[in-house]
Amino acid sequence: MQIKREIATMKLIKHPNVVRLYEVMGSKTKIFLVLEYVTGGELFDKIVNHGRMREDEARRYFQQLINAVDYCHSRGVYHRDLKPENLLLDAFGNLKVSDFGLSALSQQVRDDGLLHTTCGTPNYVAPEVLNDRGYDGATADLWSCGVILFVLLAGYLPFEDSNLMTLYKKISAAEFTCPSWLTFGAMRLLARILDPNPMTRITIPEILEDEWFKKGYKPPVFGEKYDANLDDVDAAFKDSEEHHVTEKKEDQPAAMNAFELISMSKGLNLGNLFDIEQEFKRETRFTSKCPANEIISKIEEAAKPLGFNVQRKNYKMRLQNMKAGRKGNLNVATEVFQVAPSLHMVEVRKAKGDTLEFHKFYKTLSSSLKDVVWKSEEDMQDNAAK
């Protein structure tokens, strides 16, 4: 029940600089977390697009980061994987730390009170995490905050090497050089955070008293109080099915690869050699740029007025003419295949009945689907002949 406790703790976290966990739901096999929707993208996209930040701008984001980390640590929640992808911006340009607590969900603290799992992005990981002698989640998170501050101010990483072992050595020795444009206050704070010894590394209370950090500092503003209800967490972990949500499986059309496409071409389809009614094919195809669901719905709409009963299963359909023809009731099978993300191929095949009646039906159907059909098989063959 360690995971349940961790999720319950996360549910209680409400901080303006932490992505909010709104609701927890469970199915038979999964736990679903409903998180706050953050629209401003990643903080580090600003670095990629515009280069390093001015000190006052970098300081503002760092202050928000420390506020978030301090708040979560005070509730026993440690991130352990602070990195660019987890630093988001809301619509107003405020920092939002995501995935807080998630990386520690399945980990147990050993008897020494320390975490023992090496995790996180190598460039942002603290030395004590790499040496596998156990580490304190709070001081490890703080090291990652120091790397993030360096990147905001410098525009590049303090520890970088293509060889992983060399990178680890640089991190363990805290081998980095501050760029010349940094002020003395910024360099001094970075040196105190990026201290390879976690016992002497600066703490968050000490950071809050640092002169460089305090400049223009605004304490976090908390909104309205909210009901800290954990009923949904309890329900998500209950075995009883009445508390479970039903997963909706998102069906996709069957994918078609290049070899399957080639085998369908007239020259390579050996079935043509044995087709008695050469003048009337028993199947035809067309391509469409419409979404698969739309294609299926349009075929159904077009077939029903023609007297066909429609049976549908995912992206396959069986159309049966209620009126008997020359060789009994005409049955038509259709299936939608995905050729590319925005291109589908639709196969229309006679399953039962008269071939001539099938072609008459297809001619009427295709005229009703003129907005759906991109190219018919005949169009493709004409193009190939040219």
Residue 183 and residue 127 share a domain:
yes
Write down the catalytic residue from 81, 99, 141, 195.
Answer: 81
pLDDT for res 161: 85
Provide the 3-class DSSP secondary structure of residue 321: strand
Extract the tokens encoding 99.
């995935």
Q: Please identify, among 218, 243, 268, the residue that sits at the C-terminal boundary of a domain.
A: 243
Residue 171 and residue 292 share a domain:
no
Establish if 249 belongs to a structural domain: no
**Residue 144 belongs to domain with CATH number:** 1.10.510.10
Query: H or E stretch including 120?
Result: none
Residue 81 bears catalytic tag: yes
Tens digit of each residue's pLDDT, the chain (386 residues)? 567 766 777 777 788 999 888 888 877 778 888 888 888 888 888 888 888 999 999 999 999 999 999 998 888 778 777 887 789 999 999 999 987 655 544 344 444 444 444 444 688 888 888 876 666 778 889 999 999 999 999 999 999 888 888 999 999 999 999 999 999 999 999 999 999 999 999 999 999 999 999 999 988 887 655 556 666 666 666 765 655 666 666 667 877 766 666 666 554 444 444 444 444 567 888 888 888 889 999 999 999 999 999 998 888 999 998 888 777 889 999 999 888 878 888 999 998 888 888 888 988 988 889 888 887 766 666 665 55
The residue range of the domain holding 379 is: 254-385
Residue 239 and residue 261 share a domain:
no
**Residue 271 belongs to domain with CATH number:** 3.30.310.80
Provide the 3-class DSSP secondary structure of residue 345: strand
Q: Please identify, among 217, 243, 269, the residue that sits at the C-terminal boundary of a domain.
A: 243
Residue 135 and residue 102 share a domain:
yes
For residues 281 and 348, give the distance between their C-alpha atoms in angstroms, rounded to a whole number.
11
Establish if 52 belongs to a structural domain: yes
Residue 286 and residue 199 share a domain:
no
Residue pair 45/200 in contact (Cβ under 8 Å)? The answer is no
Q: Please identify, among 219, 243, 267, the residue that sits at the C-terminal boundary of a domain.
A: 243
Q: Quote the number of domains for the chain.
A: 2
Establish if 338 belongs to a structural domain: yes
Residue 13 and residue 154 share a domain:
yes
Residue 272 and residue 142 share a domain:
no
Residue 260 and residue 219 share a domain:
no
pLDDT for res 1: 58
Q: Look at the block and give the residue holding tokens 């996360």.
A: 10
